[in-house]
Copies of this chain bind each other. A is one copy, B any other.
Amino acid sequence: MLDELDRTILEILIDDARISLKELSQKVGLSSPSVSERLRRLEEKKVIRAFTVDIDPVALGYSLTAIVRVRPLPGMLHIVEKLIKETPEITECDKVTGDDCFIGKLQFRTMEQLDTILDRLAEKAETNTSIVKASPVKRRLPPLS
């Protein structure tokens, strides 16, 4: 389905999606139209979900991050899920197995803001919050091989 050249293309694009077709095609050893066609198919097959920008939350004032584990109170599951979706400061969230039901990432500017958001959740769920001190692993892709 995906050959070695496709993987090379993906790895290059993860680092820099604005590379020109010319330069990209030189790196992978194909002509521009060939690489263009491969890109088209990678998008068509949804291997590439989107071209996007990586924005620094700190530059937007969000200097703090927390991981929040959420256990909805009985009967509150759907309401809690809705609340999470409607809280834009929760920038990622997964529904998981185990005692916790949701594990999310929360971006915020001040402790007061964190308090407000957690208070709102606390009406409908038990929560457990860990403040992020550092991120030893930058977002990356698992091995493509």
Binding site for B on A (CB under 8 A): 2, 10, 13-18, 45-57, 59-60, 62, 65-67, 81, 84-85, 88-98, 100, 102-104, 107-108, 128-137, 139-144
Q: List 27 A-B contacts (CB under 8 A).
A: A14-B52, A14-B55, A15-B50, A15-B52, A16-B50, A16-B51, A47-B55, A47-B56, A48-B54, A48-B56, A49-B55, A51-B53, A52-B53, A52-B54, A55-B141, A57-B141, A60-B141, A60-B142, A67-B103, A89-B142, A94-B136, A96-B131, A97-B133, A98-B130, A103-B130, A104-B137, A108-B142
With contacts A51-B18, A52-B52, A56-B46 taken as known, whether A137 is within 8 angstroms of B92 at the C-beta atoms is yes
With a cutoff of 8 Å between Cβ atoms, the chain B residues found around residue A16 in the complex are 50-52
Cross-chain contact B89 with A60 (CB below 8 angstroms): no
Closest to A48 in B: B53
Q: Which residue of B lies closest to A135 (CB)?
A: B94
Q: Please name all residues of chain B whose beta carbon is closer than 8 Å to the beta carbon of A100 when the two chains form the complex.
A: 130
